[in-house]
A and B are shown apart, each in its own frame.
Chain A
Amino acid sequence: MISDLLVTLGGVVGVALFGVIAGLFLMGIDRVCAARMQMRQGPPLLQPFTDIRKLLCKDSVVPANAIPGLFNAAPVVAFASAVVVLLYLPLGSILPAGVPVPVTGEYGDLILIMYLLTVPALAMVAGGFASGSPYASVGAQREMVTMIAYEFPLAVAIVAIAWRLAAAGLGMPFSVATIAANPIWGVVGPLGIIGCILLLIVLAWVTPAELSRIPCDTPEAETELCGGLLVEYSGRNLALFSLSMAVKLVAMTGLTVLLFLPWNLSPVLGLSGIPAAGIDLLFFVLKVMVVMFFSVTLVRVVMARFRINTIVSLYWGWFTGIGLIGMLLIILDGTFGGWLL
């Protein structure tokens, strides 16, 4: 009993550490890649680690007209919830359902992940409103609007895939284990593949919005709001927010990997046990890197910042539309797939 608990605790700490390290590493890669594309040298790969270390050494300043309790709680909640998302995501072949270490057990599925993904953003909103700065308040309002804008396309993508898995006769379609074990590309027919590509596009565009990166960095908008939500944050609080962003980067790209690229290397190499988990974890990081490069780095290098109303019309109009078309194709594929071809 106690040993079970210890193993679980160890697993949780391990996942949290992995999330932080992988997230900061990804951020470093993102910065170097973006710099190279902008004809700059860019910072050293480990700059995010240095930044966090420095921030952790600094004092947290709480503004006079902030609500101290909420102001200080927000970064902790944001970081904790970002790590919790990772506990429910498969990291390579390490599944949350207890293979090889029991972390969260059988509970928790994609719907829970979707809700958990909104918590860091909500914590930032709360922290922004608690800052007592007009910049932070405007940033918090924008963050809420952005959330409303991107949640629907995200839900469409997830529901469509789960529905198709259910239509294929699989039990518990929302469970991450089911999705990881049955790559969607193998389940659908040609019509569904087109639908899946559309959904992949939608998800790739939801990622920068979810992570508040250009072109959807309106809540932080350096030139408009001097950092918006985070304008009053400093020291350890800012470090926690940065860490939660880093972990969220892994979680969000990990979600894309889970939905669309869930393959592992170990079956191909014929490995099992700990080496398999290690290889798959590395492969997972590689997949996450590729996803991040295309949906975060590349996008932020080639785009200007959107206005907040553009974000709403774009996500509610275009991406929801594309998502629904993708969903429709998948439904057609699931219903008539058998005799269409």
Chain B
Amino acid sequence: MSEKKAPYELPIGPIHPALKEPINFTFTMNGEVVEAVDFAPGRAHRGIEWMGMRRNPVQIVHLCDRICGICGVSHALAFSQAVEQIGGVEVPDRAYYVRTIIAEFERIQSHLLWAGVAAHELGFDTLFYLAWQVREESLDLIEYITGNRINYGIIQIGGTRRDITPDMVPRIEQGLKYYEDLFEKMVNLFLNDKTIAMRCRNSGILTKKRALELGTVGPTSRASGLRMDVRKDSPYAAYGDVDFDIILPDVYGNEATGDVYDRIVVRLFEIPQSISIIRQCLAQMPEGPVLAEEKYAKLLLNLKKAAGEAFGRVEAPRGEDLHYVRMNGKQEPPEMWKVKASTYSNQMAWVEILRGEQIADIPIIVASIDPCMSCTDRVAVVTPQGDEGVLTKEYLHRLSVEKTRRMQE
């Protein structure tokens, strides 16, 4: 396919079978090869921050669950951590462990979901069905622990809303065993399969240097060989007490090339890591309550008086999830709430890793950073004429200066 043709534009999205969420890609193609990439996110913007800034923190926790269907715990956890820091809420030790356990189950189900999606993007539907069938076990366990399969609603400011009691441990252990037994099979299917290796090796390469420069996070950066993991770098919940290593592609004897294959390796090997973390947490869990303040009214009253700002950082399955909260001590809703999901940091890597690749590899490379547009989309630009425009840095700067002037008057 080396025929020389004038570059043509291939639109992918906002709705396309390869995309699980709306985003608009425009590829400048030369034959089957991508020459340039442009993408326009913002199609899944729902104004969640706007809604949040009109609600009290406990309500926002539940809103956080609904930012993303996959990493609900991460958002709720990051927000709670920020608010707890502002309000000086002392979280009971046991709650930290429950939070860690549920966050790790979320990682297992998210990575399996991703593995299925990746297989589907490669046209390998059998593996897709297998991965999603296997994922059911983690959803069942999450339902067993939290009562919900998707929007868990277990995180509360000052702890968790449910406890993991000793009689629940055998069922959890049964699930962990299930995944442990299955892991070798999954590795064999995903990493030793000829067609997958052929499609994924050396495609969508993100070098270590570029991964660092583009500010990527999570499995995407780890696949490029960057040693970064919020759980290790600034431990939250119970991660400081458990023993685990940052997963890099060399766990499977790979030199970290930062290709799609390495991203599969990292995500797959994070599953046994999560199992080990859950085991350690179950063994080490101290006795005690799981919620600092059971009465919401009292909690809200205390939070209303709290003033200050804080960041909550959580290693979501897709990478670092960061919530910024500012409270002024006068009102219940936070003065400012900003969500920066992992895909926001990772998405610029697309421009880099898609260039020079084939059309056939677009779906898997786009999926390889595990994008979540609902997490990411915090703004949608609509001009009075109704059509979207591109806002330049100069324009935004001018707006900012104007607002400062207005406030000064």
B364: min CB distance to chain A, Å:
8
Question: Do A226 and B16 contact each other (CB < 8 Å), given the known contacts A218-B360, A308-B32?
Answer: yes
Which B127-147 residues have a C-beta within 8 angstroms of A? 127, 129-130, 133
Interface core residue of A39, A218, A223, A310 (most chain B CB under 10 Å):
A223
Query: Which listed residue (B17, B31, B133, B360) contacts A307, Cβ 8 A?
Result: B360
Q: Which of A59-67, A164-172, A298-306 contacts B (4 or more CB under 8 A)?
A: A298-306
B130 partner residues in chain A, CB cutoff 8 A: 38-39
Interface contact A134-B11, CB-CB below 8 Å: yes
Closest to A311 in B: B360
Interface contact B9-A305, CB-CB below 8 Å: no
Q: Please measure, in the bound complex, the distance between the C-alpha atom of A301 and the C-alpha atom of B122, giving whole angstroms.
A: 13
Which A35-77 residues have a C-beta within 8 angstroms of B? 37-40
Closest to B124 in A: A304
Q: Does A141 contact B (CB under 8 A)?
A: yes
B99: min CB distance to chain A, Å:
34
Interface contact A304-B193, CB-CB below 8 Å: yes
B127 partner residues in chain A, CB cutoff 8 A: 304
B35: min CB distance to chain A, Å:
14
Question: Do A303 and B363 contact each other (CB < 8 Å), given the known contacts A38-B126, A223-B120, A226-B16?
Answer: no
Q: Does A147 contact B (CB under 8 A)?
A: no
Interface string of A102-142 (1 = CB under 8 A from B): 00000000000000000000000000000000110010011
Question: Do A223 and B121 contact each other (CB < 8 Å), given the known contacts A308-B1, A309-B358?
Answer: yes
Number of A-B contacts (CB under 8 A): 81
Interface contact A304-B362, CB-CB below 8 Å: no
Q: Please measure, in the bound complex, the distance between the C-alpha atom of A226 and the C-alpha atom of B13, giving whole angstroms.
A: 11
Interface contact B195-A306, CB-CB below 8 Å: yes
Interface contact B123-A305, CB-CB below 8 Å: yes
Q: Please measure, in the bound complex, the distance between the C-alpha atom of A214 and the C-alpha atom of B199, giving whole angstroms.
A: 14
A214 partner residues in chain B, CB cutoff 8 A: 123, 125
Interface contact A222-B8, CB-CB below 8 Å: no
Q: Does B327 contact A (CB under 8 A)?
A: no
Interface core residue of B31, B122, B125, B358 (most chain A CB under 10 Å):
B125
Q: Please measure, in the bound complex, the distance between the C-alpha atom of A226 and the C-alpha atom of B359, giving whole angstroms.
A: 12
Interface core residue of B8, B122, B193, B361 (most chain A CB under 10 Å):
B122
B123 partner residues in chain A, CB cutoff 8 A: 214-215, 217, 221-223, 304-305
Q: Does B169 contact A (CB under 8 A)?
A: no
Q: Does A22 contact B (CB under 8 A)?
A: no
Closest to B121 in A: A223
B361 partner residues in chain A, CB cutoff 8 A: 307
Q: Please measure, in the bound complex, the distance between the C-alpha atom of A224 and the C-alpha atom of B12, giving whole angstroms.
A: 9
Interface string of A291-325 (1 = CB under 8 A from B): 00000000001111111111000000000000000
A145 partner residues in chain B, CB cutoff 8 A: 1
Q: Does A225 contact B (CB under 8 A)?
A: yes
**Chain B: interface residue count, which band?**
20 to 34
Closest to A220 in B: B123
B123: min CB distance to chain A, Å:
3
Which A225-270 residues have a C-beta within 8 angstroms of B? 225-226
A38 partner residues in chain B, CB cutoff 8 A: 125-126, 129-130
Question: Do A138 and B32 contact each other (CB < 8 Å), given the known contacts A215-B123, A223-B120?
Answer: yes
Q: Please measure, in the bound complex, the distance between the C-alpha atom of A301 and the C-alpha atom of B196, giving whole angstroms.
A: 14
Interface contact A224-B362, CB-CB below 8 Å: yes
Closest to B8 in A: A134
A142 partner residues in chain B, CB cutoff 8 A: 32
Q: Please measure, in the bound complex, the distance between the C-alpha atom of A240 and the C-alpha atom of B129, giving whole angstroms.
A: 30
Query: Which listed residue (B32, B126, B363) contacts A37, Cβ 8 A?
Result: B126
A183: min CB distance to chain B, Å:
34
B25: min CB distance to chain A, Å:
12
Query: Which listed residue (A302, A303, A308) contacts B358, Cβ 8 A?
Result: A308
B367: min CB distance to chain A, Å:
9
Q: Please measure, in the bound complex, the distance between the C-alpha atom of A310 and the C-alpha atom of B200, giving whole angstroms.
A: 13
B9 partner residues in chain A, CB cutoff 8 A: 134
Q: Please measure, in the bound complex, the distance between the C-alpha atom of A302 and the C-alpha atom of B125, giving whole angstroms.
A: 9
Q: Please measure, in the bound complex, the distance between the C-alpha atom of A156 and the C-alpha atom of B212, giving whole angstroms.
A: 52
Closest to A314 in B: B198
Query: Which listed residue (A138, A218, A224, A308) contacts B18, Cβ 8 A?
Result: A224
Which A202-220 residues have a C-beta within 8 angstroms of B? 214-215, 217-218
Interface contact A304-B119, CB-CB below 8 Å: yes
Interface contact A224-B363, CB-CB below 8 Å: yes
B121 partner residues in chain A, CB cutoff 8 A: 223
Q: Please measure, in the bound complex, the distance between the C-alpha atom of A208 and the C-alpha atom of B363, giving whole angstroms.
A: 22
Question: Do A304 and B199 contact each other (CB < 8 Å), given the known contacts A39-B133, A138-B32, A215-B123?
Answer: yes
Interface contact B199-A223, CB-CB below 8 Å: no
B32 partner residues in chain A, CB cutoff 8 A: 138, 141-142, 308-309
Query: Which listed residue (B120, B129, B196, B358) contacts A39, Cβ 8 A?
Result: B129
B126 partner residues in chain A, CB cutoff 8 A: 37-38, 301-302
Q: Please measure, in the bound complex, the distance between the C-alpha atom of A39 and the C-alpha atom of B126, giving whole angstroms.
A: 9
B198 partner residues in chain A, CB cutoff 8 A: 306-307, 310
Closest to B119 in A: A304
B250: min CB distance to chain A, Å:
25
Interface string of B237-250 (1 = CB under 8 A from A): 00000000000000
Q: Does B10 contact A (CB under 8 A)?
A: yes
Q: Please measure, in the bound complex, the distance between the C-alpha atom of A301 and the C-alpha atom of B193, giving whole angstroms.
A: 13
Interface core residue of A134, A214, A226 (most chain B CB under 10 Å):
A134
Interface contact A305-B18, CB-CB below 8 Å: no
Q: Please measure, in the bound complex, the distance between the C-alpha atom of A235 and the C-alpha atom of B363, giving whole angstroms.
A: 28
B119 partner residues in chain A, CB cutoff 8 A: 304
Query: Which listed residue (B11, B18, B122, B359) contacts A304, Cβ 8 A?
Result: B122
Q: Please measure, in the bound complex, the distance between the C-alpha atom of A217 and the C-alpha atom of B125, giving whole angstroms.
A: 13
Q: Please measure, in the bound complex, the distance between the C-alpha atom of A225 and the C-alpha atom of B18, giving whole angstroms.
A: 9
B358 partner residues in chain A, CB cutoff 8 A: 307-309
Closest to B203 in A: A307
B338: min CB distance to chain A, Å:
34
A144: min CB distance to chain B, Å:
10
21 contacting pairs across A/B (C-beta < 8 A): A38-B129, A134-B10, A134-B11, A141-B1, A142-B32, A145-B1, A218-B360, A221-B123, A224-B18, A224-B362, A304-B119, A304-B193, A304-B196, A305-B122, A305-B195, A305-B199, A306-B198, A307-B198, A307-B358, A307-B361, A309-B32
| Interface of A toward B, CB cutoff 8 Å | 37-40, 134-135, 138, 141-142, 145, 214-215, 217-218, 221-226, 301-310
Having A305-B199, A307-B199, A309-B358, one finds 12 other A-B pairs with CB under 8 Å, namely A138-B359, A221-B123, A223-B120, A223-B123, A226-B17, A302-B126, A304-B124, A304-B127, A304-B193, A305-B360, A308-B32, A308-B360
Q: Which 7 A-B pairs have the closest CB atoms?
A: A305-B123, A304-B124, A304-B195, A304-B122, A38-B129, A307-B360, A223-B18
